[in-house]
Structure 1
Amino acid sequence: MAKTFASQADLAEKQETFQELAPGAYCLTAEGDPNTGVVIGDDGVMVIDARATPLLARDLIERIRQITDKPIRYVLLTHYHAVRVMGASAYGAEQIIASDLTLDLIRERGRQDFESEVQRFPRLFKAVETVPGLTWPSLVFKDELTLFMGQREVQIRHIGAGHTKGDTIVYLPDCDVLYSGDLVEEGATPYCGDAYFTRWPATLDRLAAFEAKALVPGRGAALIGTAAVKAGIAATRGFLADLTDVVRAGVGAGKGLRAVYEDAMAALRPRYGHWVIFEHCMPFNVSRCFDEMSGITDPRVWTAERDAEMWRALEG
């Protein structure tokens, strides 16, 4: 019997946790749903990842208003995926910030990604009809940007490709809190459909060099303490290495995508099958890794049609 496509069967509401990691540094987590960060400076608020729709964004705004009445001045996009960006219009921010490579991806595949992700995650796109259109940054940087929110320094960095080519992190040096986006996951399967498997490990090395005291991953619980941060980065690295090893071996042996997928599921399910969205992510992950190990350097565009075709080929 074929599995339900992606996360279409995942309709149960998740328990949300709004947590203060250090003075003025918060995160909203929800049992493996996409995380959001909130940074409060002297003169305003930054939201890190905007949520999937304006409706979900307004839920976060209500939480922010319980702790501060300062204006939401900035929305920072850690990357371009629709579940992270389509709620941006609700905040009324002065600036929407993204890396130049993230802007490239929005131009190249933003519309296709939106349609694809709505099909994959119906629960996360409540009131999707209220999304006014693609989210476009108003402030774009190349490698790094430092903002001063009053006395609070906010370091925004593109430290290398991984989950996408434009991944962006946020670091607060006054309290050693790091927001990694989907470069790191905690108890959740990394989505690798737009990834760079051969570059992601080096990007994780640069991330680890911050030696943060707390890290907010893209999904899963916040990592508190340097030991937990180190372990979380190592777990993400381990998943990537294990998947790459299986797929590289299969491609080298001349196997087709379906056979490599079956090998990867058999090899990784015992160790990672309990991670959130494992069954959802693996067909996309193996497809992208198969491409990269076959010499296709940049990820191909996912469309709703390509999603369905791939799922039938691997899970039908």
Structure 2
Amino acid sequence: MQQKTFASQADLGDKKITFSQLSEHAWAYTAEGDPNTGVVIGDDAVLVVDTQATPAMAQDVIRHIRTVTDKPIHYVVLSHYHAVRVLGASAYGAEHIIASEETLALIRERGEQDKASEIGRFPRLFRDVESIPVGLTWPNITFRSDMTLWLGKVEVRISHPGRGHTAGDTIVWLPQERTLFSGDLVEFNATPYAGDAYFQDWPGTLDKLAALDPLQLVPGRGEALRGREQVQAGLNSTREFVQELFQAVRGAAASESDLRQIYREVYDRLAPRYGKWVIFDHCMPFDVSRAYDEATAYPDPRIWTAERDVQMWKQLEA
């Protein structure tokens, strides 16, 4: 492997935005593998799932929403705590920001470090970073396992199905329309970022999503999925990546190989199948590092800081 530019600092190209209707009340804002935003347009209000990384970037989501409705945006749901998902929240002027209790705990524990880390890794995703207000995005409604909102007659179920991408992953489910917003628990033709993951829990959490039998699904990255066959393909490919990577790392760690050697072996093993997925090169060092931690001495993810990011990158990609 050739040495790569740190994380995705060399990824500067704009992505084509798509705003598409999936069911009567559900819309997807997608951008060729950049972070997605989900939109639920109820009878009397709008709910947004994930905010984009900055208020300036969130304004583009709002412009698209205003092409189809003038209803007020009353709710924002955070699928997890990562800065790229939450720091645009202030743009929506929502009355309520909703997150799981686990996500709130992670914001308290590591929100500031995550903010600095993510901005350093992937500056294009934090366009007009100066538009972010001082401080962090704080939910004002939290829940332990699940809650239900009614947007008029539109039922919106919000739940924490289990650990996977993070400890606090949240999904939004419209049972009347069988439409699911999965956050980064599911990706489609995009590499799952697993630097804060629970590899051994993630497949079981995906099984819970599959049990809902969605007919439409908005993944964290990648195009919106339509129809049972495509939805299952997104669930299955995410599960297979997570399992294959962790099994490879755990097996190599048992042989007492050092982390750099393990990384090179696992990268070469996964690249033929997954190497064309969006942000593969960006994610793999973080994914392998976390898998190695979980397979050895750290059942819970360690906090990524800007300094730790660079140190890890130099160790694995030098």
Structure 2 residue identity aligned to 1:282:
M
Shift of 1:94: 0.5
Shift of 1:2: 2.1
Which residue number in structure 2 is paired with residue 124 of structure 1?
125
TM-score by length of 1: 0.99
SS at 1:90 equivalent = helix
In 2: Cα distance, 1:74 partner to 1:93 partner: 5
In 2: Cα distance, 1:157 partner to 1:227 partner: 24
Which residue number in structure 1 is paired with residue 84 of structure 2?
83
**Aligned counterparts, 1:272-291, within 5 A:** 272-291=274-293
4+ aligned runs moved over 4 Å, structure 1: none
In 1: Cα distance, 2:127 partner to 2:110 partner: 22
In 2: Cα distance, 1:248 partner to 1:125 partner: 34
1:75-130 Cα deviation digits (max 9, x unpaired): 00000000100000010001000000000000000000000000111111111111
In 2: Cα distance, 1:173 partner to 1:203 partner: 18
In 2: Cα distance, 1:296 partner to 1:2 partner: 28
TM-score by length of 2: 0.98
1:33-55 Cα deviation digits (max 9, x unpaired): 00000001111000000100000
In 1: Cα distance, 2:37 partner to 2:248 partner: 32
In 2: Cα distance, 1:233 partner to 1:65 partner: 31
Which residue number in structure 1 is paired with residue 235 of structure 2?
233
SS at 2:22 equivalent = strand
Structure 1 residue runs of 5 or longer lacking an equivalent are none
Shift of 1:295: 3.1
In 1: Cα distance, 2:97 partner to 2:291 partner: 31
Shift of 1:21: 0.1
Q: Percent identity?
A: 60
Which of 220, 223, 226 aligns to 1:221? It is 223
Which residue number in structure 2 is paired with residue 42 of structure 1?
43
In 2: Cα distance, 1:31 partner to 1:256 partner: 35
SS at 2:304 equivalent = coil
In 2: Cα distance, 1:173 partner to 1:40 partner: 15
User: Which segment drifts farther, 122-131 or 93-102?
Assistant: 122-131
1:2-41 Cα deviation digits (max 9, x unpaired): 2101110000000010000011200100000000000011
Structure 2 residue identity aligned to 1:123:
R
In 2: Cα distance, 1:275 partner to 1:9 partner: 17
1:51-88 Cα deviation digits (max 9, x unpaired): 00000111111111111110000000000000100000
1:195-243 Cα deviation digits (max 9, x unpaired): 0001001000001000000010000011100111111100001101110
1:134-166 Cα deviation digits (max 9, x unpaired): 100010000001001110000001000000000
Structure 1 residue identity aligned to 2:49:
I
Which residue number in structure 2 is paired with residue 149 of structure 1?
151
In the alignment, structure 1 residue 180 sits paired with structure 2 residue 149:
no
In the alignment, structure 1 residue 312 sits paired with structure 2 residue 307:
no
In 1: Cα distance, 2:25 partner to 2:177 partner: 9
Which of 188, 191, 194 aligns to 1:189? It is 191
Report how many residues are paired. Answer: 316
Structure 1 residue identity aligned to 2:306:
A
- Aligned CA RMSD, in angstroms, stands at 0.6
1:256-294 Cα deviation digits (max 9, x unpaired): 111110110110001100000000000000000000000
SS at 2:221 equivalent = coil
Which residue number in structure 2 is paired with residue 295 of structure 1?
297
In 1: Cα distance, 2:4 partner to 2:292 partner: 21
